[in-house]
Each structure stands twice: as C-alpha cells, then as structure tokens.
Homo-oligomer: A and B are copies of this chain.
Amino acid sequence: MSRRRCRAPSTRAGSWGTRWRTPTGPPSPELDALLHGYGHEPIHVTGDDPVQIHRALAEAFDRALDTIAGIQRAARDSDGSGIGSGTGDEAGTGDEAGPGDGGAADGRPRWPVIVLRTPKGWTGPAEVDGKPVAGTWRAHQVPLSGVRDNPEHLRQLEAWLRSYRPEELFDAEGRPTADVLACVPEGAERLGATPHANGGLLTRTLPIPSLDNFAVPVDKPGATMHEPTRVLGGLLEQVMRDTADRRDFRLVGPDETASNRLDAVYDASGKAWQAQVLQVDEHLDRHGRTMEVLSEHLCQGWLEGYLLTGRHGLFSCYEAFVHIVDSMVNQHIKWLKTSRSLHWRAPIPSLNYLLTSHVWRQDHNGFSHQDPGFVDHVLNKSIEVVRIYLPPDANTLLSVTDHVLRTRDYVNVVVAGKQPCYDWLSMDQARVHCARGAGTWDWAGTENGDREPDVVLACAGDVPTQEVLAAAQLLRRHLPELAVRVVNVVDMTRLLPAADHPHGMSDFEYDGLFTTDKPVIFAYHGYPWLIHRLAYNRAGHDNLHVRGYKEMGTTTTPFDMVVQNDLDRYRLVMDVIDRVPGLAVRATGVRQRMADVRTRHHAWIREHGTDLPEVAEWSWTG
C-alpha cells in the first residue's frame, strides 16, 4: 500500500507561537507510570507550534506503527503458527504479541501509546472579555458566545476564522484549491471507503456446521436433561475450529467461559494470553480467540471494535452483570441505527449476547447476582435494531444461536441457562418453533380442538417453561375438564404489534394464539411488567396476568426462588383458578391444596436444605 505524501503545511501560524500557552511542564511521571502499569510505552507529542506538532505527530505515528510491526514480526518469527498473511484484519488486535523492544519482564511487548498535548482551544481566541481562553479551561465550550449581539465577539470570531487564511484554501467560487485537493486520498484510501472504517465490506459468512451434529436427541418431551450452554459449547467449538485459518470469530467474556459451561471451545482455541504461563495453567494460547478478562467494559469494547472490522463474535456474560455495559450498548445501538440509514455502509455482524448464570439459578451467589433487566434496557432503544430470544432448552438454544450468528446490524440478546434443564423439543421441532418465535405446545395442553381453550398458560424462558409445564400437569390431574393451552415464546419481539417491530405479530395471529377474552397466565423470565409493555395494545390485554422476577429471593434453593417470586407451579394453578370464570368456588379444594404445598415447601427447605422431593424429582409425564 503506497502512502502518498502531502506537502507539509506552510507556516500558517503567524503569531501563534506566542499566542498559545505552552502546555505546562514536562510529561507527568504519574501519567507515564499509569500507562506503564497498563503495559504501554508512551510516546509524547507536546507543544503549541502547529508545524512542529504536525511533524512530531507524524513521526510519532511512524514510530508507533514501526513498533507494532516489529512486535508482530517478532511474534511471527518466534513461532510459525500459521498466521502470516498480515492482512489488515489482524493488525493491532493484540493477539500476536511477542517479545519486542522495551517489553515487560515476562517477555510481553509494550505496545505504544501516543500522548498528544496541545493547548485546549488551540487556534481559538487568546482572551475574551479580558479573560484568558485558549490554553485554559474556558476554551472547553463556546469560546465566543455573544457573536449575535457583541461586536467585539463578532470581530474576534472573524479574526479567528481569517487566521486560517481561507483565501489560500479556496478559489473564488469557494472550491478547494488544487493544493488542498492534492491531499485528498483516492479510492479505498478515502476515509469513507477504506475497509478499515467500513468493516462490513470485509465480512465473510461465518461457517456454521449442521446443528444436527450437536443436537440432543428428543424422542418425547421432558425425558432427558442437558445443560443448554454446554450443548452450545459443542457448536461454538466447531465454529472456532472452522475459522482457524480465517480467524474471524471470537468468544469474549468476563472470565466466565468455563463457569458458563462453554469450555469446549478451549479445545479449538484457547484463552488469548501473552504473559507468563505457569505449570498448572490450562488452555492459555498466544493465538487464542477466546478472550477473557474480568471486565465487562473491556469485553464489550473488544467485541464492538472487532465487529466494526467486519468480523464475528459472541459475548457470554452473567445476566446480572451485563448492566455494567448498559451505557456502551446504548451507543452501539445508536451507531447501528444511524449506520443502517447510510447506503454506503456495509452491514456488520450483529452484537450477540449470551446471558447465562441467570436470575433463577443463583444458589451460591444470591441477591446481588439477580437482575434480568438488560432485556428491558435494550428494548427501550431503537427497537428495529434489537432482538431478544429466550430459548427454553438445549436444542432451541442451538437454533437461536445459529440464527443470531448469521444476522447483521442487530443487537441480539439470548438468555439461556447453564444448569441441567429438561429437553422439550427435538432439533426439528426446535427449528420450526424458533423460526415461528412463539407457538402452542399441543402435547402440553389439554385442548381438544372443538372449542376455544378456557385458559392460556404462556411462558418465556427455561425456568418459567418448566413451571408452566408442571402447572399444566397439575391442572390435567386436578381439573381434567379444563381446556388448557400452553404457549411458549422464544422471540420476545413477536409480542409487539407488527407496526412496531419487523418480528411483531399481526393482531390476527396474536388474537388466535392468546385469544381475545380468555385469561392468559404468563410466566416470564424477567420483570413481569415487560410483557404488559409489549402487549398493552392487544385486544386481550385486560385478561393478561404476568408472573416474573420481582426482586425477591436470595441464596436459597432453586424452587424457593420461584416461590418467593410467585412464579411457581402451585401459584400458577392458583392464578388459573382465580381467573377462569366459575372456577373459584368449584375448585376451592384444589386451590387450597396448592397453597398448602407452598406452606410445606417453606418448612421443608429450612429443615432439609433441599427442595421438596415432589419438586426435585418432578418430571413431565403428560
């Protein structure tokens, strides 16, 4: 790639050299210490003379780029691990670090960082209304605020703008002069055309193997259990393997890959690590594409930057702590929304979150680790960019992940458990269910098709799905004449009106699925009012009764978590009895039995420290 050199600017400064306050003193030793502490080698560019700074900054960039190139060369020479093409998509990601000049004791290189210090408000007015401005804190906002009413301000503004000598930059028609145009790069070197700034141009379709190779076999619902994220780990391992040469897929996470049971990926690509390796360490890899650091901020920053270069990734995170990056994802969503309206911007791979170790299973960690609100947060933003998935089991998690890894320009949030969970759907069933996003599970309900159901039990999320199925089974036994429909929702935006989201259901479909006049008891993974916020415009909204997490619970048994939040099977049966017309009086005995189990549960867990046998050993029998 040839670098075309522009002429250095003429000394336009005039009296600038004396006008600007010199940045005070030498570079701060504390700042250098801080940057060294972060593993960097600072390069300082300091001054107030534009020509000198221009040259010094160019030299600093040359030096920094040479240092980076040297580090990369050393890394490639020291082990021939198949990286070598030196394509742009590897530069500067830090994954090829090796011993370089000025490296740390353990052989890590010190990456350069440029510290540029020029006067604040450089080229602006030195004084306004008798007070110093350029080079001081006063230059931070609008330096000349009175140009409409204050002739002196207007005069200063004119002098400031004229100091750029526009007559040398533009011709009589206001066009840039030939000198200026000679500095404009051409073709792919233009800022808006270089693939370095428009990474979607470089995006290649991710190779995703057939899900059938990783699916768990399901002959009948609820007969087996798997850890959904562990099953997903198999798929991700293969994606890692199939991108070994292309190196365009990474898994990032706050030191939780193994905790989130995705550790199969280590067999294909270890944890990126350039420092000392101890004998007990495992899965550390100088070229690893599993990126772990206990900082959600760094994870988010790494992945955002990586996606902007056109490559693919997945951020796996404890559900509660992804709020740490709320503010960062806001800006990425704003960027995507705006970017999608610019025809020349090529779509980039979506920002994919896998939220696990979720609110319902914090047996060890407790209240501080319970927060399902990230879904609410992102749904507030530009909603056309956002997708939310709550797969209820292993195969649906495979299907959803397969989908989100193929999408572009979205923020996809997938919430799934890592604890053993019943397998409800075969891979084929999972595929159609996830494509549909929501649907009835005929095998779980007791409709016979000759009339509308008496009640709809809806669920979204793995734990709510299990509770709804257990409730359906209790209703089947205790109130066999009741026509119960079970609806599972995977794609939360299906609940939105069709006009509000590309996935939104038409009213025809929604009214058919949920009815317009029957009670709907909805067991949701997160804050219950989110369902009302999505469905408030629907005809049947007044009949919608939602159970979900309401900031109850602590370090306790899994079932006690749902009891404390009124999401448990017994409470759901009581809700049905309370809301189906005519049932309250007739089924009061059943209701009472349900309430009694909750009471026995309370005493039992205190005595035994485990859940009631009928809960712990529950399984779906149809």
Residues of the B chain whose Cβ atoms lie less than 8 Å from the Cβ of A63: none
Q: Is the interface of A mostly helix, strand, loop or mixed?
A: helix
> Is residue A334 contacting chain B, with contact meaning CB distance below 8 A?
yes
In the complex the two chains form, is B136's CB within 8 Å of A367's CB? no
Count chain B CB atoms within 10 A of each CB in A31, A136, A530, A536 and give the residue with the most.
A536
In the complex the two chains form, is B326's CB within 8 Å of A321's CB? no
A:308-325 near B, CB below 8 Å: 320-321, 323-324
**Nearest Cβ on chain B to A604's Cβ, whole angstroms:** 19
Closest to A325 in B: B327
> Is residue A583 contacting chain B, with contact meaning CB distance below 8 A?
no
- With A38-B34, A532-B536 as contacts: A137 and B326 at CB distance below 8 Å: no
In the complex the two chains form, is B381's CB within 8 Å of A551's CB? yes
CA of A104 to CA of B380, assembled, Å: 46
CA of A382 to CA of B371, assembled, Å: 11
Per-residue 0/1 for A351-380: is the Cβ within 8 Å of any B Cβ (1 yes, 0 no)?
000000000000000011001010011001
Residues of the B chain whose Cβ atoms lie less than 8 Å from the Cβ of A542: 541-542
A:87-113 near B, CB below 8 Å: 104-105
In the complex the two chains form, is B105's CB within 8 Å of A29's CB? yes
In the complex the two chains form, is B280's CB within 8 Å of A132's CB? yes
Closest to A541 in B: B536
**Nearest Cβ on chain B to A145's Cβ, whole angstroms:** 12
> Is residue A337 contacting chain B, with contact meaning CB distance below 8 A?
yes
Count chain B CB atoms within 10 A of each CB in A36, A131, A326, A337 and give the residue with the most.
A326
**Nearest Cβ on chain B to A321's Cβ, whole angstroms:** 6
CA of A131 to CA of B259, assembled, Å: 19
CA of A280 to CA of B119, assembled, Å: 14
> Is residue A278 contacting chain B, with contact meaning CB distance below 8 A?
yes
> Is residue A130 contacting chain B, with contact meaning CB distance below 8 A?
no
Contact of A37 among B35, B132, B281, B527 (CB under 8 A): B35
> Is residue A599 contacting chain B, with contact meaning CB distance below 8 A?
no
Contact of A34 among B33, B331, B334, B529 (CB under 8 A): B33
In the complex the two chains form, is A321's CB within 8 Å of B331's CB? no
What are the nearest 8 A-B pairs in CB distance? A34-B37, A33-B37, A323-B327, A33-B36, A326-B326, A136-B280, A324-B327, A33-B33
A residues neighboring B (CB under 8 Å):
24, 29-39, 104-105, 131-132, 136-138, 141, 259, 278, 280-281, 320-321, 323-324, 326-327, 330-331, 334, 337-338, 367-368, 371, 373, 376-377, 380-383, 527, 529-530, 532-533, 536, 541-542, 551
Known: A33-B37, A338-B367, A532-B532. 18 other contacts (CB 8 A): A30-B104, A32-B37, A33-B34, A33-B36, A36-B37, A136-B278, A138-B280, A141-B259, A321-B327, A323-B327, A324-B327, A373-B381, A382-B551, A383-B551, A529-B533, A529-B536, A536-B541, A541-B541
